[in-house]
Amino acid sequence: MDPPADEFPAVQPGGSLLLAWQVRNRRVLVVGGGNVAAGRILNLLNADALITVVTPAAGLVPEVAHRISQNLITHIDRNFLPTDLEDPAIAMVLTAVDDPLASSTIYTLCKQKRIPVNVADVPPECDFYFGSVHRDGPLQIMVSTNGNGPKLANIVRRQIAATLPANLGEAVVKVGALRKRLRGIAPAPAEGPKRMDWMTRVCEGWSLEELCDMNEEDMEALLKGYGDGVVISYKELRGEQDAIAEGFDGSFGWV
Ligand SMILES: C[C@@]1(CC(=O)O)C2=NC(=C\c3[nH]c(c(CCC(=O)O)c3CC(=O)O)Cc3[nH]c(c(CC(=O)O)c3CCC(=O)O)/C=C3\N/C(=C\2)[C@@H](CCC(=O)O)[C@]3(C)CC(=O)O)/[C@H]1CCC(=O)O
Ligand SMILES: NC(=O)c1ccc[n+]([C@@H]2O[C@H](COP(=O)([O-])OP(=O)(O)OC[C@H]3O[C@@H](n4cnc5c(N)ncnc54)[C@H](O)[C@@H]3O)[C@@H](O)[C@H]2O)c1
């Protein structure tokens, strides 16, 4: 007998597959040197990609010229040529040129070579769309409207970001450090389920604000509970620490 329809998540076709694409040390070709290219280049630099920009120097906006002068990107000073796609290291192509014919040609060539491509503002010539991204250290939040309203994506992203605690990126860094230490004290693959259960209970038991405030000693104290499967709360921990800081000797005066 089939299970009831509401037992599994409902499928909502027509969306995008949102992924965190790892382009670190991979070659990306950017075509164009205007403001849109400048935005694409910043996104790529933030993801540690190796970037080649092909575009005439005469059409560079100051931001792209600055990246070139800082040696952060390789610049080929001319219009795009089909031979630019011959480097087998190219993992992705982004075009942002004010020439629809050139854009379409690049798109077709990329398809022939099976290179993923985004042609800025031409959805039918995109293997993937960009989105509006909030960045705070390792935390990234991307909003996509799936082509319906890019400006609305920007507004929704800023509204979401405004509700987040300050230093949330710092909290993410700390959780990362705690997970690393946990793997240090319990490295065995067989410990995986216990590690995951414990980390889940830390993340659920501590509020985002408390995680933001987590310090080295808190991490040490938390990890002491791991063996017995205990997750000490922030309040317990701070209560104890405050008591120690005030010279509390644990006797409640009965000495
Ligand atoms: C999110 C963001 C990321 C980025 O590009 O980095 C992005 N567009 C941004 C801004 C923006 N783009 C446009 C405006 C004018 C206002 C308006 O139209 O709303 C503004 C607002 C502004 O400039 O402030 C015009 C526009 N954009 C596209 C078309 C073509 C079409 O719709 O057919 C047209 C109409 C051209 C025309 O009418 O002639 C298409 C795309 N733009 C996308 C992404 C992809 C879908 C993402 C999604 O829907 O969620 C997609 C499909 C492909 C792609 O380019 O990857 C970035 C905001 C970043 C930020 O600030 O946070
Ligand atoms: N997604 C967005 O937010 C957004 C916003 C505005 C515009 N756009 C679109 O993105 C595209 C680029 O916008 P922009 O404001 O950066 O344009 P722009 O006119 O400022 O820059 C275009 C750049 O492309 C270069 N170029 C032109 N033909 C080229 C070729 N054959 N080979 C290499 N380089 C070439 C020019 O020299 C220039 O550097 C346009 O199609 C525009 O409609 C997108």
Where does 96-231 show beta strands of DSSP type E? Answer: 117-119, 132-136, 139-143
- The reported pTM is 0.90
Nearest to 60 by CA among 44, 78, 43, 47: 78
pLDDT band, very low/low/confident/very high, at 251 (cuts 50, 70, 90): very low
Any atom of ligand 2 within 6 Å of the Cβ of 121: yes
Any atom of ligand 2 within 6 Å of the Cβ of 102: yes
Rounded-to-integer distance, Cα 73 and Cα 52, Å = 6
Q: Which residues pair with 54 in a beta bridge?
A: 31, 76
Residues 6+ apart with CB under 8 A from 75: 52, 53, 54, 55, 57, 68
Any atom of ligand 1 within 6 Å of the Cβ of 118: yes
Q: Which tokens in the block code for residue 169?
A: 């990126």
Instruction: State yes or no: pLDDT of 202 exceeds 60.
Output: yes
- In this structure, the number of other CB atoms found within 10 A of the CB of residue 135 comes to 13
Any atom of ligand 2 within 6 Å of the Cβ of 59: yes
Instruction: Provide the ipTM.
Output: 0.94
Higher model confidence: residue 243 or residue 142? 142
Ligand nearest to the CA of 29: 2
pLDDT band, very low/low/confident/very high, at 2 (cuts 50, 70, 90): confident
Alpha carbon of residue 88 to chain centroid: 26
| Residue nearest (by alpha carbon) to ligand 2 atom 27 | 97
Residue with tokens 């414990």, as numbered in its chain? 198
Residues 6+ apart with CB under 8 A from 82: 105, 109
Residues 6+ apart with CB under 8 A from 38: 61, 63, 64, 67
Instruction: State yes or no: pLDDT of 49 exceeds 60.
Output: yes
Q: What spacing in Å lies between the alpha carbon of 14 and ligand 1's midpoint?
A: 18
| Ligand 2 mutation target, pool 41, 105, 121, 125, most atoms within 8 A of CB | 121
| Ligand 2 mutation target, pool 36, 52, 125, 130, most atoms within 8 A of CB | 36
Rounded-to-integer distance, Cα 90 and Cα 116, Å = 9
Rounded-to-integer distance, Cα 224 and Cα 243, Å = 19
Least confident among 122-126, 144-148, 232-236, 251-255: 251-255
Helix (H) or strand (E) holding 104: helix 100-113
Give the pLDDT score at 5. Answer: 74
| Ligand 1 mutation target, pool 41, 128, 130, most atoms within 8 A of CB | 130
Any atom of ligand 1 within 6 Å of the Cβ of 192: no
Any atom of ligand 1 within 6 Å of the Cβ of 157: yes
Q: What spacing in Å lies between the alpha carbon of 124 and ligand 1's midpoint?
A: 13
